[in-house]
Structures are given as C-alpha cells and as structure tokens.
Amino acid sequence: MASHHPTEQRLTIREIAEAAGVSAMTVSRVLNKRPDVAPATRQKIEQLVAESGFVRSRAARAMRKGRHGLIDLVVLSLDSPYILEIIRGVEEALEPTGLRLVVSATHGEDQHERQWLAKISDGWTDGAILVLAQGQSDRVQSLRRRRTPFVVVDHEGELGPQVPSVGATNWAGARSATEYLLALGHRRIAFIGGSPTLGCAQERASGYREALKAEGIDVDPDLVRPGTFLHESGYEQTMALLDLPDPPTAIFAGNDTMAFGCYSALRARGVRVPDAISVVGFDDVLVAPLVIPPLTTVRQPLADMGRFAVSMLLRQIDGSPLDALRVELATSLVVRESCAAPGTSGSLQGQT
C-alpha cells in the first residue's frame, strides 16, 4: 500500500508568498531573518507562516546552500554510560548553533558492508565527531580525502597528531590516582588495564607505572592485569588478583565499569571495600557517586570533551584555523569513599 497522497502536498514558500501577495523571495528573506524587509510585510508573512504551519524544505535549502545543518556523531556503541556523557556535551554545544545532531553507532567494525564511512560520506552532513576504537585509521584518512571536517574524541592512537582530536590527560590522571594510593600507604597496587590497542589505555598504564617508579617501587607483573574495559573483565581479574599468594591492598581499574566489576568480585569473596581493599576507577560516570561505597575515581570531563570537539569542528567548518590539533583536557582525582589506608582490617576476610 504505497502512499499516494496527491492532496497532501506540503506547503511551499511560493504558496505563502501568493497568500501574502508578495514574491517567494520576500518570504525567503523573512524566513532567513534578513533585514531588508519592511516591518509590516515581515509581520504579515510571519503570521501567515505561523497560521499555516509552514516549514521550509530542508532538502531544497541544503541543495541551494551546500550545507545541511547536520553534524554526525559516530560512536562505537551505545552500550556504555560513558558515551552518554559525550553525547550530552555535544548536544549542548550544538544547541545554540542551530545545527542538528545525527547519532549513529558502528556496532563494532566487523560489519564491513555498511561501513560507517558510507553513512557520513554520502554528502549529508557538514562534519563529523568520531568516538572510535582502534584500527580506523584508513577510514579516517579517506574521510580527510573527502575534505569532510571531523574531530576525533578520546583517541589519538595510530592516527598520529595530524588529525584534530580531543582527549583527556590520561597519563596524569592515572599517575595521580596511583600517587594517592601510595600516599595512603599502599605498596601492592594492582592495575587492571583497558583494551591495549586503545591509546588512552596505554597512557593510563604508563601513568600507573611511572608513579610506582617515582616511589622506587618495582612493578610486580602479577599485579598488572589485562582488561577490556568491560564489567566482566574487572570481575575476573579481581578474582585472579585475590587468588595471588600475595594479593594487592589496592586495585586501580582502568575505568569505572571495571571498578564496578571489582566491587562485585570483592563482594562475592566477602572482601570489604575500602577496609580490606581500596578501589579506584577512571571516568567518573554518572553512577560513580551512587554505588556503595561511592567510588573514588579519576574524573574525565567527557561532556566538556564533547563540547570542545564541537567547537573545533565548527572552526573547521567555517575555515578558521585551529589553535591546536590535539587538545587534552585535564583529569582530576575525585576522592570518595572507596579507598583507605591498607591494613585497617588485618586480613582479606570480611563478612557476608
């Protein structure tokens, strides 16, 4: 049952013009809020537009102007609360500009058929903000070849400093979190890393090592665990850490989600936080202060990163030069209640 609604023709600018007794161009001028229209005429047209519920065609406008007023936000997936923060920042920054936000997810990259690139590059959007995993450098290159303005968020990686990107000071954040644990008196501090292919994960691991080194502590390979940034990963690695002959007194998780995994594992083993083991996360997602105990974590200003990405993108779109291609926003340690000095409760056995 196709939709043949010959009567349902949408209003055009010309019909409004006719009703107002002016030319289409004048209506266009009013709609574009241009100054060279007599107040009386303007008001009449505005009223007519309001009454009729007329909306101009985005397509025609886009064709004429060469711009569509749309910005692409491409993310890996929409599963993590982490991404919501970024979306929020982007949306807020875009709001006053009148540009609209188009969200799409790549759903992992095994889907080679409908590449995300095709979506962006079919000339619909004016620019793109990419929140991606690794291994996309070829696509990013071809994006550049198409001269589509874009900004990468939270990932430099192998793309190099050539591409505009916004990140956070992962290294410094990880270092200060580790230093905090050291200052509390911890000496056996475990680290659960994120996907090793991600630049941010590498930086965090490096910051952790650096802090230990600065304190003259050798990094115990047993205490440095691989991870995936996912909850199970935090759970499993914590279990493994607890099974060590000499378990850690503190765990620094590569992100909050894994820190929650630590919580679960520790609870399953009856180990209390922070009495028996301290836990630190990374990201400071919305729920970090809501879990029990409230999670001490490294705050990554995700929303600000989103906002910043927008401003960089807008600069590119209107041809202004960028101050810097790579921008890193400051992280900060948010101390809550998941850490304590070690040894406050003799052993690792707690109560159910």
Contacts to DNA by CB under 7 A: 9-10, 12-14, 17, 21-26, 28-29, 31-32, 35-42, 56-57, 60-61, 63-66
Contacts of a copy of itself in 23-52 (CB under 8 A) = none
CB of 295 to a copy of itself, least distance (A): 11
CA atoms of 195 and 132, how far apart (whole Å): 13
Q: Does 263 bind a copy of itself (CB under 8 A)?
A: yes
Buried b (16+ CB within 10 A) or exposed e, 152-174: bbbbbbebeeebbbbbbbbbbbb
CB 292 within 8 Å of CB 266: no
Smallest distance from the beta carbon of 129 to DNA, in angstroms? 24
- DSSP secondary structure code for residue 108 in this structure: S
Amino acid type, 205? A
- Cα–Cα distance measured from residue 260 to residue 306, given in angstroms and rounded to the nearest whole number: 24
Of the candidates 24, 84, 217, 322, which one interacts with a copy of itself according to CB under 8 A? 84
The whole-angstrom separation of Cα 40 and Cα 34 is 14
Does residue 230 touch a copy of itself according to CB under 8 A?
Answer: no
Q: Nearer Cβ to DNA, position 49 or 291?
A: 49
- Three-state secondary-structure class, residue 100: strand
- Residue 325 binds a copy of itself, judged by CB under 8 A: no
Question: How far apart, in Å, are the Cα atoms of 10 and each of 49, 73, 92?
Answer: 13, 30, 31
CB-nearer residue toward DNA: 22 or 250: 22
Q: Is 182 in the site for a copy of itself (CB under 8 A)?
A: no
Give the residue among 303, 71, 280 at the shortest CA–CA distance from 168: 303
11, with CB counted inside 10 A (0-12, 13-18, 19+), is middle
| 21/160 with CB nearer DNA | 21
- Cβ at position 319, least distance to DNA in Å: 16
Applying CB under 8 A, does 102 fall inside the site for a copy of itself? yes
- Under the rule (CB under 8 A), what is the footprint of a copy of itself? 1-3, 5, 8, 10, 53, 55-63, 68-70, 78-79, 81, 83-84, 87-88, 91-92, 95, 98, 100-105, 107, 114, 119, 121-125, 142, 145-147, 231, 257, 260-261, 263-264, 267, 286-287, 290-294, 317-320
